Structure 1
Amino acid sequence: MKITSNPYNPIPTIEVIDLFCGIGGLSYGMKSKGFDILAGYDLDSTCRYAYETNNRAKFIYKDIKTVSADEINALYSKDAIRVLAGCAPCQPFSSYAFKNKKKDPNKYDLLYEFGRLVKETLPDIVTMENVAQILAFKDKPVLSDFVNLLKSCNYHVWVKAVYCPNYGIPQTRRRLVLLASRLGEIELIPPTHKPNEYKTVEDAIGDLPELEAGEADPNDPLHRAKALSPKNINRIRHTPYGGSWKDWPKRLQLRCHQTDNGRSFGSVYGRMVWEKPAPTMTTQCTGLGNGRFGHPTQDRAISVREAALIQTFPKTYKFFADEEYVAITKASRYIGNAVPPKLGEIIAESIRIHVSEITKK
């Protein structure tokens, strides 16, 4: 498309359709940079409230395999820059999947379906976020197939694993980011933070009220921590600052930890530390035994609110219509599956700069 500018609006309107949108982390980050979010597609209908409430955009409950090019194109305006975004479910490409023989073969098809829609709709810009392990995935060349399809449709493609602390996200998340444009060369903006400037656990959650395991903050229903059994309370009390199960007396250790394989999981039942970024938030990030998700100094796992803040969701983000009855397991799944809104902002800023530079030519 030919991009024209005027003195009142230096760049055209940028419109976004978000495939595999979940509760809207990517959309929210892009909306925060002034993009018009038109719609999000997802097969989890329970994400509707959070997506629509926070993004003021339509949630479409539909299998991507049944979505047509005509349907997508009808949502865009005539003279806008059209962005098609997506984060195909990453279970087949995750670290866990490399160890798990029982993979769902249907999940592989989702990136190909994304590619189908790109080829049929030819949006101006495409962006994708996924786990970094997809770069090394051996079973199927899904990423290289996707990149080759983009190039065959005259897209300039930038793709790289991104270390999230370099962009102000307080967790050691490493994610693949892809940007592709039919307008010209495009790339992610340079890192915004040096190692001595990384956002830390303390930056993210250091000001929240103290909690006991199983307790909720009366002023913030999302600041709620899972209850722990007496034995696990004893275990977390025996876990020093920054420590893990390896610091427990033998009577508290699990049998699996005493095997050669179990000894390799040194972070399980671990505590975070205040002065460093947190580990990657997963769908089980509020469970003490699922990683280094113990609070740095309190005898509990992190709360839903703490997980959301580490994932860069603002306190104003609404996850449920009634947050007095927070389902911790569901909230953790929403948060762990989401694109950090801050990463969405970085992607949007990269697109905005790209469009601005093309406009000036």
Structure 2
Amino acid sequence: MSQKDSNLKAVDFFCGGGGMSYGMLQAGIKVIAGIDYELKCKETYEANITGAEFIAADVFDLKEEDLEKRLNLKKNDDELILIGCSPCQFWSIINTEKTKSEKSKNLLKEFTRFVKYFNPGYVVVENVPGVLRKKEESGLQDFIEWLEREENGYKVHFNVHNVNDFGVPQSRKRFTLIANRVTDKEIQPLKLDGKKRTVRDVLGPENGFPEIKPGHTDTTPFLHSVMKLGEINRERLLLVEKDGGNRFGFAGIPHLQLPCFVGRDDSFRDTFGRLWWDRPSPTITTKFYNISNGRFVHPQEDRALSLREGAVLQSFPMGYKFFGKGIDSIARIIGNAVPPIYAQSIGSAIKKNSYATL
């Protein structure tokens, strides 16, 4: 049998704006559907993920039998991939308000229901490293033990990977699990070209980003839009050294110093910080458009990152379409996404494994 005889297909749980689904498509895997309770992701997902159905559903309420009928899925399908990249705020080391994301801590357990019901050929889980540190509480320990039972027959690879090692111009550590019961080999993400990309590889005029000022609004689909800055923040950024500087550039000026930073030189070093040209960006969060939420200042220009800059640092292609009401809404879709190039490295590894079984 030839490569074209492989009919891998994926269902992407917690699909968001489609980062994982897009990477799977780039790897040559058909995506049947993306499932997410957040309707704000629907337009973005459908505009970019060709041939996939967006299912607006809360996984807590979704029944296995209903999904089976709706998508015409079969149990024990060797070519079915179930993907679960659930929202990760509860397990993140970032100081988010945990009560708002309490429900998210049980999403892996809900995803497990579908894996047990369908018994797919392949399973993918991607999340923050915190799920591994708290693997009993998150349900990960029980899930791995179930997969590895002899009667279930899954070979399981799990580890924490930095997506920069796989071609994403960003330092972003992610827990990744790939399980398969099709062969006796563990599957690991593939390094597609072996290159570690930096900010310089994707930003700047030479990469299609014209210089803009704070508050610039781009009404085209390119979305080179950036947050406004108040006068005092403009003054602060003028003193932040180009190419990697941070808030210490204005620390000695009383009227520019923030009260919360006084005596805290050992903390919040990335706040008001610029990206370095020749390093990967820090983790792109849902707040990458705000200079006070991390190292999200342009390496040269005195402004925050634009929406499109955040997207390319997440490895979305320049033509990827995003929809939402306001900068914060679109930034949330971008920051929550699985970087597509990393997703492609996972899909390519699965595809390569499937060829070996044909």
Q: TM (normalized to structure 2)?
A: 0.90
RMSD: 2.1
Report Cα offsets for 1:41-81 as digits up to 9, x if no partner.
10101111111111121111111122222233332566771
1:161 maps to amino acid: V
**Match of 1:81, as an amino acid?**
E
Are the aligned partners of 1:154 and 1:182 in contact in 2 as well (CA < 8 Å)? Answer: yes
Report if the CA contact (8 A) 1:162-1:176 is conserved: yes
Partner amino acid, structure 2, of 1:247: G
Per-residue deviation, 1:189: 3.8
Distance 1:16 1:286 in 2: 32
Distance 1:38 1:139 in 2: 31
Deviation at 1:287, TM superposition (A): 0.5
Alpha-carbon distance in structure 1 between the residues aligned to 2:235 and 2:21: 42
Q: Aligned ranges for residues 5-154 of structure 1 at < 5 Å?
A: 6-7=1-2, 9-56=3-50, 57-74=52-69, 75-76=71-72, 81-96=79-94, 102=99, 104-137=101-134, 140-152=137-149, 153-154=152-153
- The residue type equivalent to 2:164 in the other structure is P
Q: Retained in 2: the 8 A contact 1:127–1:178?
A: yes
Query: In the alignment, is residue 255 of structure 1 matched against residue 255 of structure 2?
Result: no
> CA distance change for structure 1 residues 100 and 50 in 2, over 3 Å: closer, same or farther?
closer
How far did 1:160 drift? 0.6
Q: 1:198 is matched by which residue type in structure 2?
A: K
- Which deviates more from structure 2 when the two are superposed, residues 46-55 or residues 76-85? 76-85
**How far apart, in 2, do the equivalents of 1:191 and 1:221 lie?**
29
1:96 deviates by 2.2
Deviation at 1:132, TM superposition (A): 1.6
CA distance in 1, matches of 2:44, 2:24: 16
Q: Shift of residue 35 of structure 1?
A: 1.1
Q: Distance in 2 between matches of 1:349 and 1:24?
A: 17
Q: Secondary structure at the match of 2:31?
A: strand
Q: Point out the more displaced range, 171-180 or 141-150.
A: 141-150
The 3 A distance-change label for structure 1 pair 222 and 172 is same
Name the CA distance, whole Å, in 2 between partners of 1:219 and 1:46. Answer: 19
The aligned counterpart of 2:310 is 307
Alpha-carbon shift at residue 148 of structure 1 (Å)? 1.4
SS at match of 1:49: helix
1:67 and 1:43 map into 2 onto residues whose CA distance is 10
Between the two proteins, the alignment pairs up a number of residues equal to 345
**How far apart, CA to CA, are the structure 2 residues paired with 1:204 and 1:282?**
18
**Equivalent residue of 2:174, what SS?**
strand
Range with greater deviation from structure 2 (68-77 or 308-317): 68-77
Equivalent in the alignment of 2:199: 201
| Residues 168 and 314 in structure 2, CA contact (< 8 A), matched pair in contact too | yes
* Aligned equivalents of 2:182, 2:136: Cα separation in 1: 33
* CA deviation string 1:126-180 (max 9, x = no partner): 1011012222127715221221122233211110101111110000011111101
Structure 1: runs of 5 or more not aligned? 1-5
1: CA distance, partners of 2:81 / 2:136: 30
1:295 aligns with 2:298: yes
CA contact (8 A) 1:15 1:76 kept: no
**8 Å CA contact 2:191, 2:345 repeated in 1:** no
Residues 115 and 149 in structure 1, CA contact (< 8 A), matched pair in contact too: no
The offset of 1:235, in angstroms, is 0.6
CA distance in 2, matches of 1:312, 1:45: 23
1:274-353 to 2 correspondences below 5 Å: 274-320=277-323, 327-353=326-352
Alpha-carbon shift at residue 353 of structure 1 (Å): 0.9
Q: Deviations over 1:247-279 (max 9, x none)?
A: 21332111111144x741101110001111111
CA distance in 2, matches of 1:346, 1:221: 26
Shift of residue 344, structure 1, vs aligned partner: 1.1
* Equivalent residue, structure 1, for 2:245: 243
**d(CA) in 2 for partners of 1:163 and 1:253?**
34
Per the alignment, in what secondary structure is the counterpart of residue 180 of structure 1? strand
TM-score, normalising length from structure 1? 0.90
CA contact (8 A) 2:90 2:98 kept: no
Whether the aligned pair in 2 keeps the contact of 1:15 and 1:80 (CA below 8 Å) is no
Q: d(CA) in 2 for partners of 1:158 and 1:107?
A: 23
Please list the CA deviations of residues 65-119 of structure 1 after superposition, one character each: whole Å capped at 9, or x if unmatched: 222222333325667710101101101110125x866464322211100011100
The answer (yes or no) to whether the contact 1:209–1:217 under 8 Å persists in 2 is no
Contact 1:162–1:174 (Cα < 8 Å) also in 2: yes
Kindly indicate whether the alpha-carbon contact (under 8 Å) linking 2:105 and 2:138 is maintained by their aligned counterparts in 1: no
Moved more, 81-90 or 251-260: 251-260
Decide whether aligned partners of structure 1 residues 38 and 180 sit closer, same or farther in structure 2, where only a CA change above 3 A counts: same
Runs of 4+ aligned residues of structure 1 deviating over 6 Å after TM superposition are none
